[in-house]
């Protein structure tokens, strides 16, 4: 009799325990959830429209993943655990729909992946993230839902990779990061003000000590001199900033000599741009710009002397000129940079048009031609020097760009006339005579039209 009583009591206890721990299995397809607009959500049975109550095992019907959940009047409340392949993957605690208390994620082997804490739905305290090797990868601190305090990140060996600080959700104070890139590993060092903006010295230094980036911020804006370089020590550029506007830049050749210096404003060339030769650092060109366009005037309104080095099929020469309102004005030269640096061209411009006497020479200073211009057109005597001995070979007269008047062509050896005649309005007319080198007339013709 006593044994029968004990058996009945045991069955009753097991029944009570089973009833207390029983879970209602719910398929995701059979429930619907709504965001309440305050970060919480409400779930109910799709068919009955009744809110979920108590413990439920939520499945998707396709995978082995499931969640042991607890609801109160359709709102998450209590301990929640998610399993993958029948192993605990995540656990968290809700209080009236808000995360409240410890929250953890796990690797398949059961080791901790993340460890966090919440108070009334907001992160609070230390957040830790672990690698699969069990070592801490990152450590972040929160206060009242905002990042506050040190943030430290580690490499796989447990060495500090970056370290920074936050104050009420904003970066604050000094930050140091070890960064790997395909151009070389480097250390980034920055400083933040109370508004969370860069402020003070900023640098990115390659692990061999060479500068990648170095400069200074003032309340989040670049200011002063900034340097840029490569891992091997080669300079890329040196820039000058004022209130985050780049006002000057210097770029370098791969031997660290200056290639170009230009003045800027609002992202456009504004002021002088000077380029230099790679071989000896000599000035290659000097051009003045306004709002990104070549300009003829400085701020004072005067003409600007400009130089450009030009490489052509015939050689390298330097062009020197003045401009007013975008037109060449005044003295103009092109000087060869080879041989004895003869004057390739020399003359005057007026209102953008050639005027007066122009002279042209080869690289060794040998005169090639002389011309006279009026209002941009040949006007007056034009002489060609194609003889090796420097004597003139041709002499023509021009009026408004057309041959007009007597002309002569000469024998190079003797300098005597080889041919002479006349042009009228660009066309040959009248008696044309031909001579041998001794000056003897050999033939003549009368050209009529």
Residue 299 lies in a domain: no
Q: How far is CA 277 from the centre of its chain?
A: 25
Residue 240 domain-assigned (yes or no): yes
Please write the tens of the pLDDT for every residue from 357-388. 999 999 999 999 999 999 999 999 999 999 99
Q: Does the pLDDT value for residue 352 go beyond 60?
A: yes
Assess if residue 235 is contained within a domain.
yes
Residue of 228, 292, 303 whose CA lies nearest to 264: 292
- Residue 240: which CATH number? 2.20.110.10
Domain assignment present for 226: yes
| Parent domain of 205 | 182-253
Confidence of residue 303 (pLDDT cuts 50, 70, 90): confident
CB 293 within 8 A of CB 280: no
Q: Are 67 and 80 in contact (CB under 8 A)?
A: yes
Task: Look at residue 19 and tell me if it is in a domain.
Answer: no
pLDDT of residue 134: 94
Task: For residue 157, tell me if it sits in a domain.
Answer: no
Helix H segments across 258-404?
A: none
pLDDT in tens, 78-115: 999 999 999 999 999 999 999 999 999 999 999 999 99
The answer on pLDDT for 289 being more than 70 is yes
DSSP one-letter code for 52: P
Give the chain's end-to-end CA distance (angstroms, integer): 154
Q: What is the pTM of this model?
A: 0.60
In this structure, is residue 62 part of a structural domain? Answer: no
Residue matched to tokens 């840029």: 228
Asked, for residue 306, whether it belongs to a domain, the answer is: no
Mean pLDDT of the chain, nearest integer: 91
Is residue 253 pLDDT above 70, yes or no? Answer: yes
Judged by DSSP in three states, 364 sits in coil
Residue 97 gets the label, from left (phi > 0), alpha (psi -120 to 50) or beta, of: left
pLDDT tens by residue, 354-364? 999 999 999 99
Backbone angle region of 91, left / alpha / beta, with phi > 0 → left and psi within -120 to 50 → alpha: beta
Query: Taking residues 406-435, what's their average pLDDT?
Result: 97
What is the reported pLDDT for 8? 39
Distance in angstroms (rounded) separating the CA atoms of residues 85 and 65 = 6
Distance of alpha carbon 223 from alpha carbon 227, whole angstroms: 12
Taking the C-alpha atoms of residue 297 and residue 282, their distance in angstroms, rounded to an integer, is 25
Please count the structural domains in the chain.
Answer: 1
């Amino acid at each position: 009799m006593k044994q029968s009583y004990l058996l009945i009591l045991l069955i009753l206890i097991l029944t009570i325990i089973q009833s207390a721990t029983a879970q209602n299995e719910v398929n995701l397809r059979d429930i619907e959830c709504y965001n309440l607009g305050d970060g919480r959500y409400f779930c109910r049975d799709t068919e009955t429209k009744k809110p979920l109550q108590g413990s439920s095992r939520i499945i998707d019907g396709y995978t082995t993943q499931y969640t042991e959940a607890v609801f109160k009047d359709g709102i998450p409340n209590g301990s929640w655990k998610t399993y993958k392949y029948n192993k605990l993957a995540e656990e968290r605690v809700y209080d009236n729909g808000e995360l409240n208390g410890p929250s953890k994620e796990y690797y398949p082997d059961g080791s901790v992946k993340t460890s966090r804490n919440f108070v009334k739905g907001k992160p609070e305290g230390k957040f830790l993230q672990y690698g699969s090797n069990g070592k801490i990868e990152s450590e972040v601190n929160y206060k009242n839902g905002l990042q506050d305090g040190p943030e430290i990140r580690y490499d796989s060996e447990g060495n500090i990779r970056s370290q920074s600080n936050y104050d009420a959700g904003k970066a604050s104070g000094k930050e140091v990061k070890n960064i790997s890139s395909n151009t070389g590993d480097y250390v980034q060092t920055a400083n933040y003000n109370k508004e969370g903006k860069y402020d003070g010295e900023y640098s990115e230094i390659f692990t061999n000590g060479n500068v990648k980036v170095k400069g200074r911020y003032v309340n989040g804006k670049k200011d002063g001199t900034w340097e840029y370089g490569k891992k091997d020590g080669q300079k890329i550029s040196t820039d000058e900033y004022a209130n985050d506007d780049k006002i000057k830049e210097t770029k370098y050749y791969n031997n660290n000599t200056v290639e170009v210096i230009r003045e800027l404003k609002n992202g456009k060339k504004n002021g002088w741009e000077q380029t230099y030769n790679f071989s000896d650092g000599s000035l290659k060109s000097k051009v003045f710009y306004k709002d990104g366009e070549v300009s003829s005037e400085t701020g004072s309104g005067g003409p600007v002397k400009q130089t450009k080095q030009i490489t052509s099929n015939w050689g390298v020469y330097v062009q020197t000129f003045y401009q007013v309102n975008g037109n060449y004005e005044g003295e103009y030269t092109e000087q060869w940079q080879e041989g004895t640096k003869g004057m390739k061209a020399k003359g005057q411009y007026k209102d953008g048009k050639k005027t007066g006497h122009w002279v042209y020479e080869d690289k060794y200073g040998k005169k090639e031609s002389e011309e006279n211009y009026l209002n941009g057109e040949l006007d007056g005597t034009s002489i060609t020097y194609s003889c090796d001995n420097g004597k003139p070979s041709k002499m023509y007269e021009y009026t408004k760009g057309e041959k007009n008047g007597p002309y002569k062509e000469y024998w190079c050896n003797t300098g005597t006339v080889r041919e002479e005649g006349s042009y009228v309005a660009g066309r040959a007319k009248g008696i044309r005579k031909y001579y041998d080198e001794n000056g003897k007339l050999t033939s003549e013709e009368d050209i009529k039209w």
